[in-house]
Every structure is written in structure tokens, then in C-alpha cells.
Structure 1
Amino acid sequence: MDTVQHVFKGTFAHSTHRCALEVLENHILGTDSAGKILFFEDAQEQTRLAQKWGFDEQKIEEFGKSEFIMPGLVDTHIHAPQYSFIGSGMERPLLEWLKHTTFPIEDTYSDLENARNLYSTVVKRTLRNGTTTACYFATIHTDASIVLAEMASQYGQRAFIGKVCMDRNNTYPKYIESTEESIRETKRFVEVLKNKKYERVKPIVTPRFGISCTEKLLNELGKYADEHQLHIQSHISESTAEIEEVLRLFPGYKNYTEVYNKNKLLTNKTVMAHGCYLTDEELHVFREKGAALSHCPNSNISLCSGHLDVQNVLRHKVKMGLGTDVAGGYSISLIDAIRKAIETSKIIFMEKIKRETNKINTNQKGKMAPNEVSGHAKNGTMEMELDYNVLSYKEAFRLATLGGSEALNIDHITGNFEVNKEFDALVINPEAKDSPFEVFSQISKEEMIQRFLYLGDDRNIKAVYVAGRCVVPFPSNA
């Protein structure tokens, strides 16, 4: 029988495939030495569980009345080197921002000391903000990308690390590799990480996006990923200017999705960031291939790229998680991504109301009174039902946790508190001394969770666990 390492008691909140937010008060959860969940039951079973698993009831870690435990956050798209200029250049659209801000700074990470200092900071900052799993873009520099993997492993973060591949760069020609070099260095990067045998840090094949990769490079990366069953990440349909340039560079393809699909880069281990302008036909391909989308609402708004209609993606049953997309997104926190995802959904709803209002107003006089969240609108003489539901905070919570693990194809390992999964978790204290919000009266746990998601930040995160190991607070020597 497995030995119990930790036992936690209190309120737990997580998502399942049947329920976007399940709140379980007075529950008890036990983990083994490998960080896997051995049991998760009502605390009324405590004595029986203690007898069965042989743990000391006096050593149970019990959390306070206002505290709750939730799954760790999964950032499905973040550029680690861009943290150094987070919040900069936001006045430019995507392609101009890449040319003037991103590429020149990323090019400096051939300096390994520079890389080590920044990547150490990025990993610690994301962990403090509750990101237990991060899917990172690094740069084209192999050795610096290896440093990022070392930092993630050192601080205990679950991570996918991508050495960026790009064999053309018309806007900043200095930051480029040859096709052969990109392929060779990707293979070296993957082999180095495999030989290091990190438990929870894995390589991910990373063509930057269609504009910066030739067909030969995409094809070779697709074949290599297929041969070794590797994860894949890139960008797709982030802005209209990007789509136009991709179609110009790949005239033989009917759409952006086909560029990746025909080169074996859409698999059940693929996550593509953005997807703001994907057609229903393209979403069908994503569903068919088992590929996922990373919704990056902060970045989409900050760079004026567009809005992703989350509800349409979910209707197509495409896997989806949330991404911060630092530094296109100006916040490193997935809690911000939750809020921006909800806000984006509301913007899309209001745009639909406006379009329908304009249609009606051209045919009859009268003023419509839209219902804020139901998708129902009416005026004095006619009613209209919109086939749209605003994304709820519960659904956004699922996207940031279980949805992210599904997008990265690790939902059999983490994402919620099911038995046999690894315990990736945050301990949340809404009444922390320096909390950014107050709790004035006794409220339900569900309302407490909602307030944290709308108002809380890293000051409310009391502890962070990855695979049963407490990684935040950091050791004094970290």
C-alpha cells in the first residue's frame, strides 16, 4: 500500500467534465510520496481513512474557514524572454510590435547569463501567481532555452519548453536561423532535455508562426514531432494582417489551418495560440485532429488583434485553455486571463445585440432593451432570442485549470482533484493581511471563490503545490 505523505482538510474547488465548478466543503485529500492523490472524500470518513491508509490524524493540515484549495493554473501560452519588456510597446499592432520591440530584445538572449537571470525571475513570478504548469516559448537560442528548462525544474514548475524555430524574418533579418540549423538545433534541444530526464519539464516543438517559417521547415518539424510523438505549439490567426501575409507566403494553401495541417503540425498534442479568425471549417479540422487552442484575451485586446468567440470554439468541441501571452498580454497572471476571457465574451455578446438592434431599427421604430447576460432582447412589439450565452466565471475557471490540462494533453496527469492525478494546487486565503479586497460578512464558499476570481491576486495565494510538493513559499535560499 502507498505511504501517505500529506493530508489536507478543508474546502476544495475544482472542475470536472460534468461540472464547471464543484465546491466541496469539509473534505479530506491525501497524497503519496510521488505527489499523487490517494483519496479525496468527505471528512466524515476521516477516521476510516486514517485506519485504511495509516496516517496520523494529528498531522492533518487543516485550512481556515475562509480558505479554499483549487487546482493549479495552467498557462497554455507564454513567451518567457518577453517578460523583460512586459507592458511595453502596447501602442503598436502585432506585426509592428514584433518588429520594433520583440525581435530585437529576444535576439539578446544568446547571452546565457542574461537568460539565466531573466528565466529565474519568470519562473518564480509565474509560480507566485499560481501557474503550476506553463507552456513556454523561449528564443531561437538552444542553450538559453535549455537554461529555461533548468530553471523550471529547479523551482518545481511543470513546464513545456520550446526552442523557437524561424528561418525567415523579413522585419528583423538579424534574428533568424537557416532551415538546416533550425532543424538540427531543435533535435539537439529535444535530446538534451530527454537526457536530463526531468520529471515534469518536457520539450515542445515550436515553429514561431507561418510568417517566420518556410514550408520546408514546417514540414521537417512536423515529421520530427510525429516520429518522436512530441508536443507542438505555435500561433494561428491572431490578426488579419498576419493571415493575409501567411496566405501570400503560402499561395498553394486554402487557409492558415491547412498550412499546419498538411505539414503534420496539427495533432492531439498541438496547442495553437489565439485563433481569433478561424472559420467553422478550420475549427472542424482542429476537432478532427484533436488539436487545441490557447485563448489569450489580454494580448488580443492589447495589440488590437481581435476577439476569440469562446462559445463557438466550445460548440465545435475543440479543446481550449487560457494563456497570458506575455508580453503581448501585459499580465503574467492567469487570474487576469480569466477576467479578460469573461469580458471578451461580454463584448462579443454586446456586438451581437448591436448588430441585431441595427437590423430591427432599419425595419421598425422602437428601442430594444437587452438583458445583460441571458442572450434575450426585446422591445415593445417584438422579441428576439440570441443563440449566445456569456462565458460564466465558472466556465472561465475550468478553462484556466482542467481546460488547460486538456489543451496540453496532460488531463490524465493533472487539472483537478481526481484520485491518481498529481496534486497541483493553490491554497487561497481571501482574508490575507494584504488582500486586495475585503470580506465584510459571512458569505457562501462559491461567492468567496467568485470574489477571488474577480478581485484577488498573488497576495491571496498562501501556498502553491506541484505534484504534492510545496513550491511557494520559496525556500529561503531560492
Structure 2
Amino acid sequence: MAKFNRTNTEIAHVYRGTFIHSTQQAAVQILEDALLGVDTEGKIAFIGKGTEQDRLCQTFGFNLSEITQLAQHEFFMPGLVDTHIHASQYSYAGTALDMPLLQWLNTYTFPVESRFKDLEFANRVYTKVVRNIFMFKTKILTHFENDFGQRALVGKVCMDRNNSVKHYKETSQESQEETCRLCSGVLNVRKVLKHKVRLGLGTDVAGGYSASILDAIRRALESSKVLTIQDPEYDTLTFEEVFRLATLGGSQALSLDDQTGNFEVGKDFDALRVNVAAPGGPIDLIQSEEPKILLEKFLNLGDDRNIVQVFVAGRKVVPFTDATPE
């Protein structure tokens, strides 16, 4: 049965095909042959089955000829959410990652950040990082004891290292101090989720070498396997769970899940149109695969060549050459 917001809204676009997203109940929910309508405000107006198209046409006043049909190896997924990136560090991403943190900060970060008073330099860097900016809210995040060098410095400043967490804003969450102590190593995501902490993924450029959340997904899966090697009883993360971290989880971590993160009626249409079999792309499909396998292949093997279109709040921002708002 179709879910819809209000019937007096004006529909701007309608898409039919496979939609893959996460919900609170399911790490991956696959909606095959679904029909999704986007209104003129960029919100998801309705989502239903393709077989309901005649009724939805009458209800929302669009024509069958206006429906965009996805190809066989295509699907829509929510936009990937990067919860933590240092845009000012982008110019030296991938540089000296073997250097201790404090030495790296003094050698690269602080000198480069001082250059941003030069607006021409700032513009050159930021236009590479962000080509289209759509702000809901701006979140400020910090690191807590990244490595042993920083931990020692915090201890010197705070005198009592065991209580250094008090230098950060305290919350009522009982497990905050314990959760913070999970840093400085391979994060035990299972333990964090057990404490009901809202969790997403971040590239952490330039501490992280890549600005792609796809790489963050792969590193998260690899890190989970490392923990399993160290402790065979550790429950390795599935790709479905990491997919949720990269989409709905990220929106929850930023308190934006009422606006984005999945394909729920009333939310912004923030989406990637993915073609797993894109010509010249990195994925070879030897046989017909079900949508879940296509998603897994994209997360593990795909790159920007597989991303046909990107939508932010209903507006098509990729391809960049298409200046017509959608």
C-alpha cells in the first residue's frame, strides 16, 4: 500500500525502480518495482508499488509519461553522510600519514590553516571539497584523545588524566566516559551501539586519506574483521549494518534524521542513482544478480563512475554539467 504525505502537493518528478534504504527495524530494506514521487519542495511526497501507478497518477495528478524508469542494474539509495571531515585539511590529504599526530599537526595542519586568511587560497580549496552546499544545520565536532601523544598532552593540561573527559561537554548519558575510552585504536562498534550511541561514518580528511564515504565503509568492514581476528567471539559487522551507518546512522548522529537518511515520506529526496553495470565502470557483472548483491558489489567495488545522478533536497546536483534544477 502506498504511503503519502498530502494529496494537494505538486509533483515535480516520479521515479520507478528499485529503492534500497535502511530503517530502524532493518539494516537494509529493498523496495523492488517501487514508485516514488518528489514534490516541488524536494520532499518525498509518496512511495508505493509500481503496480499502483494508475491510482497514484489520479491521486497526485501526474501523467504516466512523466515517470522516469530505472534500468535493470540501477537502484536508488540514500545519499552517503560524512559526519566528520576537515575541509581545511583537504589540500594535503594523503600526506605523511605515518607521522605522529602532534608532529603532523604542527608540520601541516597549523601552517596551512593560517593560509586561509588568503581568500583566493580558501576559495581554491573549498570549491574542491564542496561544489554544492545545502545546509540544514552546521555541526561542530571534536576528537577525544586521538593517540597516545595527544592523550599525554591532555593529561598534562588536565592534571588528572582519568577525568580529562570533563573538559568536554558532559551529557546525562551514563556511558559517556566509557564510550570515549573506546578511542585510540580500532573502534568496537558493537560496544558503542550497545550503549545506544548514535553512530555514523566520517572520512576525517586529512587524517583519513580519502574523501569518499565508500572508502570509509570498506575500512569499517576491514576494522571489524581485525577485531574478529583478535577475538573470535566478536560479532563481525555485516555490510548491511555498515550501509546503515553510512546513511541513516549518519543522519541520526547529526540529528538530521527527521529530514534525511532514508526514503520516508516527508523527508528530503537525498539520493544516489547507482548503475552497477555502468559502461567503463569498475564492476564486471557476469550474471544477473539480485538487488542486495548489486548493493554489496557497489559498496565493495564501486566508485563515482557508478553514480549516475546525485540528488540533494530533490535537486539534481550531479552531473554538474546539467544546470537545470530538478
Fold match by TM threshold 0.5? yes
- How is 1:70-89 mapped onto 2 (pairs within 5 angstroms)? 70-89=77-96
**What residue number does 1:456 align with?**
302
Paired residues of 2:82 and 2:203 also in contact (CA < 8 A):
yes
Q: Which has the higher contact order (CA 8 A, sep 6+)?
A: 2
Q: CA deviation at 1:100?
A: 1.1
The yes-or-no answer on 1:419 pairing with 2:265 is yes
Q: Figure out how many residues of one structure are paired with residues of the other and give that number.
A: 317
Matches for 1:7-22 after TM superposition, within 5 Å? 7-22=14-29
Q: Deviations over 1:302-352 (max 9, x none)?
A: xxx521111110111100100001111111100110010010011011112
Asked if residue 52 in structure 1 is aligned to residue 47 in structure 2, the reply is no
Q: CA deviation at 1:122?
A: 0.9
- Residue 321 (structure 2) aligns with: 475
Report the CA distance between 1:477 and its aligned residue.
Answer: 7.2
Task: Say which of 266, 280, 293 aligns to 1:447.
Answer: 293
1:347 pairs with 222, 226, 239, which one? 226
Amino acid paired to 1:5: A
> In the superposition, relative to structure 1, how do residues 283 and 417 fare at CA in structure 2: closer, same or farther (>3 Å)?
farther
Report Cα offsets for 1:161-198 as digits up to 9, x if no partner: xxxxxxxxxxxxxxxxxxxxxxxxxxxxxxxxxxxxxx
What are the residue-to-residue correspondences of 1:256-295 with 2, within 5 Å?
A: 256-262=164-170, 282-283=177-178
The 1:391–1:100 alpha-carbon spacing in structure 2 relative to 1, beyond 3 Å, is: same
- 232, 236, 239: which one pairs with 2:144? 236
1:235 to partner: Cα distance: 1.1
Cα distance in 1 for partners of 2:44, 2:221 equals 31
Counterpart in the other structure of 1:436: 282
- Alpha-carbon contact 2:179-2:192 (below 8 Å) kept: no
SS of match in other structure, 1:463:
strand
Q: Secondary structure at the match of 1:202?
A: coil
- Checking the alignment, whether the CA contact within 8 Å between 1:89 and 1:101 is kept in structure 2 is no
Residues 283 and 316 of structure 1 are in contact (CA less than 8 Å); yes or no, is this contact kept in structure 2? no
Question: What residue ranges of structure 1 are gaps of 5+ in the alignment?
Answer: 125-154, 159-199, 205-231, 269-278, 287-292, 294-299, 354-385
> What is the DSSP-based 3-state SS (H/G/I as helix, E as strand, rest coil) of the residue aligned with 1:74?
coil
Mapping of residues 374-385 of structure 1, within 5 Å? none
- Counterpart of 2:124? 117
Bigger strand share: 1
Name the SS for the 1:236 alignment partner.
coil
**For 1:124-139, what aligned pairs fall within 5 Å after superposition?**
124=131
Alignment partner of 2:211: what SS?
A: coil
What is the SS of the residue equivalent to 2:168?
helix
CA distance in 1, matches of 2:256, 2:136: 12
In 2, the alpha carbon distance for the partners of 1:94 and 1:320 equals: 24
Secondary structure of 2:246's aligned partner: helix
Q: Deviations over 1:137-163 (max 9, x none)?
A: xxxxxxxxxxxxxxxxxx2x33xxxxx
Shift in alpha-carbon separation, 1:440–1:69, aligned structure 2, 3 A? same
2:38 and 2:31 mapped to 1: Cα distance? 17
Structure 2 alignment gaps of length 5 or more: 1-7
**Preserved contact between residue 66 and residue 431 of structure 1 (Cα < 8 Å):** yes
More displaced 10-residue stretch of structure 1: 115-124 or 461-470? 115-124
Give the CA deviation at 1:247: 2.2
Q: 1:285, 1:104 → 2: CA distance?
A: 29
Q: CA separation in 1, counterparts of 2:84 and 2:152?
A: 23
Contact 2:13 2:38 in 1 (8 A): yes
Identical-pair percentage: 45
1:42 aligns with 2:43: no
User: Residue 255 of structure 1: CA displacement?
Assistant: 3.0
In 2: Cα distance, 1:234 partner to 1:428 partner? 33
CA offsets 1:236-289 (integer angstroms, 9 cap, x no match):
132122122112211257434321135xxx599xxxxxxxxxx95614699xxx
Amino acid at match of 1:399: L
**Whole-angstrom CA distance in 2 between matches of 1:283 and 1:64:** 48
From the superposition, tell whether residues 256 and 71 of structure 1 become closer, same or farther in structure 2 (CA, over 3 Å).
Answer: farther
Does structure 1 conserve the Cα–Cα contact (< 8 Å) formed by 2:44 and 2:263? yes
Counterpart mapping for 1:201-240 below 5 A: 201-204=136-139, 232-240=140-148
| Pair 1:285–1:244, CA change in 2 (3 A) | closer
Match of 1:4 among 3, 11, 34: 11
Aligned equivalents of 2:19, 2:213: Cα separation in 1: 19
What is the alpha-carbon distance in structure 2 between the residues aligned to residue 391 and residue 201 of structure 1?
30
> 2:20 aligns to what SS in structure 1?
strand
**Is residue 2:309 matched to residue 1:466?**
no
How much does 1:47 deviate? 0.6
Following the alignment from structure 1 to structure 2, what is the Cα–Cα distance between the partners of residues 473 and 442? 27
Structure whose alpha-carbon radius of gyration is higher: 1
Q: TM-score, normalised by structure 2?
A: 0.92
Q: Aligned runs of 1:266-415 on 2, under 5 Å?
A: 282-283=177-178, 306-353=185-232, 386=233, 388-415=234-261
Q: Is the 8 A contact 2:270 2:311 kept in 1?
A: yes
Q: Distance in 2 between matches of 1:310 and 1:320?
A: 9
**How well do the aligned residues superpose, as a CA RMSD in angstroms?**
2.2
Instruction: List per-residue Cα deviations over 1:357-385 (Å, max 9, x = no partner).
Output: xxxxxxxxxxxxxxxxxxxxxxxxxxxxx
* Separation of aligned partners in 2, 1:115 and 1:60: 42
1:117 maps to a residue whose letter is R
* Contact 2:27–2:244 under 8 Å retained in 1: yes
CA 1:410–1:18: 2 relative to 1, 3 Å: same
Whole-Å separation in 1 of the counterparts to 2:217 and 2:115: 32
- What is the TM-score normalised by the length of structure 1? 0.63
**1:371 paired residue number:** none
